[in-house]
A = this chain, B = another copy of it.
């Protein structure tokens, strides 16, 4: 519930955040490693990770001075569910519209 699709899609509206997610999909990574693989500074990565964490798309785990981030499957599930429902209503209303069109000549 707290993971609203709006928050998630706002978070994924940024290219760098999507890149972070794609990197984390391969496995957990520390912040510094992530920053080395991206064309932005470490603080920028940190701020992106905060947004992703607030959207519940990633989870954090401390290990010494390092903090590992990994993808939160529940966050992904929320988006998938959003698009599934969107897809359903779109097709349903499309079908209803087509039926109205066909019955227009019949009635």
Contacts and interface: CB of A to CB of B under 8 A. Distances in A.
Interface of A: 6, 9-10, 12-15, 18, 21-22, 25-28, 71, 73, 76, 79-80, 83-84, 86-87, 89-91, 93-94, 96-97
Interface SS, A side: helix
Given A13-B13, A26-B93, A28-B97, 9 more contacts: A6-B15, A9-B12, A25-B86, A26-B89, A27-B97, A73-B90, A73-B91, A76-B83, A76-B86
**Minimum-distance CB pairs A-B, first 6:** A13-B13, A25-B90, A25-B89, A71-B90, A27-B93, A80-B83
Copies in the complex: 2
18 contacts: A6-B15, A9-B12, A10-B13, A12-B13, A25-B89, A26-B89, A27-B93, A27-B97, A28-B97, A71-B90, A73-B87, A73-B90, A73-B91, A73-B94, A76-B83, A79-B83, A80-B83, A80-B84
